[in-house]
Amino acid sequence: MNREPASLLVERADEYATLTLNRPEKRNALSVRLRDEISDALDALAAEDAMKVVVITGTGDVFSAGFDLSEFERAAGDDTFSRQLWESSDRYHETVLHFPLPTLAAVNGPALAGGFDLAVLCDLRIASSTARFAHPERTFGDIVYGPLHDLVGGALARELTIGGRELNADEAHAVHLVGEVVAPDALMDAARATVARVVAAPKDVLVRTKAKALARAGYARGTASLDL
C-alpha cells in the first residue's frame, strides 16, 4: 500500500534540529495537517535536553505559499472542519511564536502570506537570493500584523500589509528583515554557520534571552491568530 509522504521532515543533529516543510506540489502550503505536525514537532523538541535551536526551511524552490486556501473553501461549508482549521491555526501560531528556544528560518524561496508569517515568527532569518516576501492575502482577508511590525516598524509593516509592497531578498536584507542573503546552493551551509554561533551559548542563557525578547514584544499567550 502506498503511504502519503510526510508533510514535515524532522532531522536532528546534535544540538539542533531541522524542520522541512515537505509539500512541494502545493508550494509547501500550510495545511491543517502540516501546521499540526509543526506544532507537535516543536512541542517534542522543546522537551529535549540537548536541543538548543531549530531551523525551519522548505522542500523545493518555495519556502511556503501560505495557508492552504482549498481548506478555507472546505471550511466555508463544514462547521466542524472550520473549527478544526482555526484551532489548528491558533495552536500553530502560539507554538511557533512562544517556542522557548531560538528558531532560524532558512528561506529557500518565496515566503508568501502565512509563509511570510512563519519566517517572521522565527527569531532569525537567512534568505536565498531567490526569496521574496509578500502578503497577497491582504486582498481578501486579515493579516498577522504584530510580529512583522515588531521586526521592521510600523511604516514598512503598513506598506507590506496595506499598501501591497513586496520585497525581494536584497530589499529584505536592506531593511533588516533577513540577516543574510546567499546563493540558493549555499543556504543550508549558511544556516549551519548561524547554528554554530547560536549553540556556542549555554542553553539556559538562550532560553532566558528568548523569553526577554518575547516579553519585550508584549505577546500574550493565548492570542488568537487573527488578533496578532
Enumerate the active-site residues: 137
- In angstroms, what CA-CA distances link 209 with 65, 102, 115, 189, 204? 31, 9, 25, 25, 9
> Do the strands 124-128 and 180-182 form a parallel or antiparallel pair, or are they unpaired?
parallel
> DSSP string of 150-185?
HHH-HHHHHHHHTS---EEHHHHHHTTSSSEEE-GG
d(CA 87, CA 85) in angstroms, rounded, equals 6
> How many angstroms separate the CA atoms of 129 and 120, rounded?
17
